[in-house]
Amino acid sequence: MNAASWEALGSNLAATAGAAAAVLLLAFAVGTARRLHRTADIAWGLAFAAVAVVSYVLSAGYGDGGRRLLVATATVVWGLRLAVHLAWRGRGHGEDPRYAELLARGRGNPQVRALLTVYLLQAGLVWLVSLPVQTASYVDSPVGVPDALGAALWAAGLGFEAVGDFQLARFKADPAHRAAVMDRGLWAWTRHPNYFGDSLVWWGLYLPACGTWRAALLCLVSPLVMTLLLTVGSGKRLLEARMADRPGFADYTARTSGFFPLPPRGGRA
């Protein structure tokens, strides 16, 4: 990346932040009207897609065309799949327990609290995590090995989370499995195949941004933040805390890896 590319990237960071904020603010308006703030989860994937599209448009004339198209397409596909899946999964359900608890505690207007601690916070995280997508759009070196490895990681991650989501949805659709713990398929190898797949996706999107050491260091925070969110932030930690009292969950955690896929302990698959 030359000086002009870095200058263009820096001047366009505000536009990508605005794109993320616009999607989350629209989701806030919808969530407030419906009194259902789980809308923020659907907007999460859509905001990443919006940032990718804006980055693609604004980087015209700077980065390699093939890489720009690769990272934009990969991000949009991932974001739209996630948004559609969460919208379908949440149909007919009430408020997400996380948001219900947030709105019930604390002082002040709960809607303002939701705006600040859910929607605007997520907009900031979208902007931060998507830094590799933004930066890769300005890398002008030809597409090479890091891009190919990144695409492979992205595809593996997308496949892992999509298959995991499908297996869980099919399991829950059977009334005989009501309140049962899903421990089959990919869920026998990791307690969170969807979160593990998400992590792979963002490590894959990070690699195309590694055209220079400066870009690699700048963007390293993004996959690290996403992985931490999925493991010790609002992902794995909160979900397992809510499931701790479910019958069979303790046995499931004893034999199944918490994040990275590993053969189930005791040989049960």
Residue 94: its pLDDT value, please? 81
Residues 105 and 181 in one domain: no
The whole domain housing 206 covers: 162-269
Q: How far is CA 176 from the centre of its chain?
A: 31
- Which residues lie below 8 Å from residue 6, measured CB to CB, with a gap of 6+? 138
Domain termination site, one of 143, 170, 189: 143
Is the pLDDT reported for residue 161 higher than 70? yes
Give the domain-ending residue among 99, 114, 143: 143
Domain count for the chain: 2
Q: Which of 143, 176, 198 is the last residue of a domain?
A: 143
Is the pLDDT at 266 greater than 70? The verdict is yes
Is residue 136 scored above 80 in pLDDT?
yes
**Is 196 within the bounds of a domain?**
yes
Same domain, yes or no: 42 and 105: yes
User: Does the residue 157 lie in any domain?
Assistant: no
Same domain, 210 and 119: no
| Residues 22-78: tens digit of each pLDDT | 999 999 999 999 888 889 999 999 999 999 999 999 999 999 999 999 999 999 999
Average pLDDT over residues 168-175: 92
For residue 110, being part of any structural domain is answered with yes
Look at residue 269 and tell me whether its pLDDT is greater than 80: no
Average pLDDT over residues 239-249: 85
Instruction: Indicate if 24 and 124 belong to the same structural domain.
Output: yes
Based on the fold, state whether residues 10 and 69 are members of the same structural domain. yes
Check residue 219 and give its pLDDT. 95
pLDDT of residue 222: 96
The DSSP line for 4-38 is HHHHHHHHHHHHHHHHHHHHHHHHHHHHHHHT-TT
**Looking at residues 186-195, what average pLDDT do you find?**
95
Verify that 118 and 1 share a domain, yes or no.
Answer: yes
Banded pLDDT at 122 (limits 50, 70, 90): very high
User: For residue 267, what pLDDT is reported?
Assistant: 53
pLDDT for residue 95? 81
Segment holding 156, helix H or strand E:
helix 145-173
- Does 151 map to a domain? no
Write the DSSP symbol of residue 146: H
Name the more confident of 211 and 145: 145
Q: How many residues does the chain have?
A: 269
Say what the pTM is: 0.92
Do residues 51 and 23 touch, judged by C-beta distance below 8 A?
no
Distance of CA 178 to the CA centre of its chain: 27
Residue 149 lies in a domain: no
Based on the fold, state whether residues 103 and 171 are members of the same structural domain: no
pLDDT over threshold 70, residue 268: no
135 and 174 together in one domain = no
pLDDT at position 180: 87
Q: Domain for residue 167, yes or no? A: yes
pLDDT of residue 103: 77
- Beta-carbon contacts of 153 under 8 Å, excluding residues fewer than 6 positions away, are 200, 201, 203, 204, 207
Mean pLDDT score of the chain, rounded to an integer? Answer: 92
Considering the domain architecture, whether residues 107 and 171 belong to the same structural domain is answered as no
Residue 57 half-sphere exposure, CB side, CA atoms within 13 Å? 10
Give the pLDDT band of residue 240 (cuts 50, 70, 90). confident
